[in-house]
């Protein structure tokens, strides 16, 4: 069990490292160097930068030195919490991102909970009542959920609500709370706005998970231990819930590990359509305007948080699976 944890932890750290290299590559990719662009940006806004300042900036970022030196300098600053400066906003990147990162995670997490809550009972129903009308119905809905990319769904929901209710359903806050500091009322407001983006984000994943749960359970329902349980004379519903469902739950739970990155990815796109104050719109804007420190930082932080989330879900999974728990002996 310890070995398992350590292995997972090492893998998570390795993954975060790979992400950080990729993130830095993204920062480095655009032609020209950052300091020149930054100075040009500053002079355009009226401030002037002396030659000495420019030299010290170049020194700070290790420009002109090999990639790995620049990377090392950058990662050391990142670990210290200094993500660099956003050119477009002329403010430290950390400040620009602000609450947006947590809101991204919040939406993804809400969608995850929703997916679980929906896919589990529907998957069980569909497997136990295989080929029933309900099964076909859910399969159909599931296929639609699978086929409609969530940004399209967001577009359609936007259009319909605009058309029939005349309301813009975008955003996560009512206008009066948008710029206000955090308060209890703001949290309540957020909770009110959360369901719609969460549902839109959850649909595709729910469809996928229903299929996984259904297939796993169908598989487990044919196992000998189910016959054993039946032969004991236990009522059918208890046989199913206690044995095959428990077994099917495991691969189901492990799907969280890849569902979470997928949700974070998805949230980036639907945020743009629904103009949610997450990192999504910020990322797209920074990428288009080549505000690379902002873009790179967002990629890094999103990636790192996703990996941490996956790691935690792995640990939970390990705790609930006796086979992994007892790997010690």
Partner 1 sequence: MLARLFNAKPAVEDAATAEERVAVASQLKLTWWRFRRHRLAMASGVIVILFYLAAGFADFLATMDPHDTESARSYAPPQAIHLFDDVSLRPHVTVLRARRDPRTFRMVHDQATKVDLGFFVEGYPYALFGLIPTTTHLLGLKGAQPGETLHILGTDRLGRDLWSRLVVATRVSLTIGLVSVVISLFLGVLLGGVSAVYGGIVDTAIQRVIEIVRSMPTIPLWMGLAAALPNDWSVTRIYFAITVIIALLAWTDLARVVRGKFLSLREEDFVTAAELSGAGQLRIIFRHMLPSFLSHIIAATSLALPAMIISETSLSFLGLGLRPPAISWGILLQDAQNIEALALAPWMLAAAAPVIVIILAFNFLGDGLRDAADPYG
Partner 2 sequence: MVEPRAPGSPILSVRDLKTYFQLDEGIVRAVDGVSFDVQAGRTLGIVGESGCGKSITARSILGIVDKPGRIVGGEIWLRRGADQPVDLATLPANSAAMRAVRGKEIALIFQEPMASFSHYYTVGNQIIEAIREHSDATPRQARDRAIALLDTVGVPQPERRIDEYPFQLSGGLRQRVMIAMALACDPRVLIADEPTTALDVTTQAQILDLLRGLQQQRGLALILITHDMGVIAEMADDVVVMYLGRAVEKGKVDAIFHAPRHPYTRALLRSIPSIMAAPRTKLATLGGSIPHPFNRPAGCPFHPRCDAFMTGVCDRAVPAALAGPDGSEVSCFLYGERP
Q: Which does 252 bind (CB under 5 to 8 A by kind): partner 1, partner 2, none?
A: none
- Does 112 bind partner 1 (CB under 8 A)? Our answer is no
Nearer to partner 2, 163 or 323 (CB): 323
Contact predicate 170/274, CB 8 Å = yes
The CA–CA distances, whole Å, from 25 to 16, 20, 129, 265, 301 equal: 14, 8, 51, 19, 15
Which range touches partner 2 (CB under 8 A), out of 12-20, 95-103, 232-240, 252-260?
Answer: 232-240
Min CB(26)–partner 1 separation in Å: 4
CB of 321 to partner 1, least distance (A): 18
Rounded Cα distance, 260 and 253, in Å: 11
Pick the binder of partner 2 from 223, 312, 315, 319 (CB under 8 A): 223
Q: How far apart are CA 17 and CA 11, in angstroms?
A: 10
Query: What angle do helix axes 100-128 and 292-320 make, rounded to 10 degrees?
Result: 40
- The DSSP code for 171 is S
Beta bridge partners of 85: 92
Query: CB count, 10 Å around CB of 21?
Result: 15
Q: Using the rule CB under 8 A, which residue among 1, 6, 14, 227 binds partner 1?
A: 14
Is residue 229 part of the contact set for partner 2 (CB under 8 A)? yes
Nearest of 223, 228, 239 to residue 124 by alpha carbon = 239
- Closest distance to partner 1 from the beta carbon of 73 (Å): 20
Which CA distances in Å does 151 have to 158, 261, 299, 316?
Answer: 10, 16, 20, 31
Q: How many residues bind partner 1 (CB under 8 A)?
A: 53
Name the segment binding partner 2 (CB under 8 A); options: 8-16, 147-155, 169-177, 243-251. 243-251
Q: What is the distance between the alpha carbons of residues 310 and 8, in angstroms, rounded to a whole number?
A: 10
Query: Which CB, 43 or 168, lies closer to partner 1?
Result: 168
- How many angstroms separate the CA atoms of 228 and 28, rounded? 61
Residues between 162 and 191 with contacts to partner 1, criterion CB under 8 A: 162-163, 168, 170
- The contact set with partner 2 (CB under 8 A) reads 222-225, 227-236, 242-243, 246-247, 321-323, 326, 329
- The contact set with partner 1 (CB under 8 A) reads 11-12, 14-15, 18-19, 22-23, 26, 29-31, 143-144, 146-149, 151-152, 155-156, 158-159, 162-163, 168, 170, 257-258, 261-262, 264-266, 268-269, 272-273, 283-284, 287-288, 290, 295-296, 298-299, 302-303, 306-307, 310
């Amino acid at each position: 069990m310890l070995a398992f944890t350590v292995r997972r932890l090492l893998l998570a750290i390795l993954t975060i490292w790979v992400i950080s290299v990729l993130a830095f590559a993204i920062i480095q990719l655009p032609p020209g160097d950052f300091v020149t662009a930054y100075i040009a940006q500053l002079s355009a806004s009226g401030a002037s930068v002396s030659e000495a300042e420019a030299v010290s900036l170049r020194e700070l970022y290790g420009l002109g030195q090999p990639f790995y030196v620049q990377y090392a300098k950058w990662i050391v600053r990142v670990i210290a919490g200094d993500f660099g400066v956003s050119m477009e906003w002329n403010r430290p990147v950390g400040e620009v991102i602000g609450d947006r990162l947590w809101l991204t995670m919040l939406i993804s997490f809400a969608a995850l909970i929703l997916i679980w809550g929906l896919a589990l009972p529907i998957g069980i129903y569909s497997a136990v009542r295989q080929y029933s009308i309900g099964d076909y119905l859910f399969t159909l809905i599931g296929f639609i959920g699978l086929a409609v990319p969530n940004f399209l769904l967001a577009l359609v929901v936007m259009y319909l609500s605009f058309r029939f209710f005349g309301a813009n359903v975008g955003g996560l806050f009512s206008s009066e709370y948008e710029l206000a500091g955090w308060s209890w009322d703001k949290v309540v407001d957020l909770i009110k706005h959360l369901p719609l983006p969460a549902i839109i984000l959850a649909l595709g994943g729910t469809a996928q998970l229903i299929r996984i749960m259904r297939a796993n359970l169908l598989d487990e329902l044919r196992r000998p231990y189910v016959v054993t349980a039946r032969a004991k004379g236990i009522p059918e519903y208890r046989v199913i819930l206690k044995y095959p469902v428990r077994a099917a739950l495991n691969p189901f739970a492990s799907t969280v590990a890849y569902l979470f990155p997928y949700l974070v990815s998805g949230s980036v796109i639907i945020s743009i359509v629904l103009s949610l104050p997450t990192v999504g719109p910020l990322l797209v804007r920074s990428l288009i305007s080549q505000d690379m420190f902002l873009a790179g930082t967002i990629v890094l932080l999103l990636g790192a948080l996703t990996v941490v989330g996956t790691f935690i879900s792995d640990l939970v999974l390990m705790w609930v699976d006796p086979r992994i728990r007892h790997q010690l002996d």
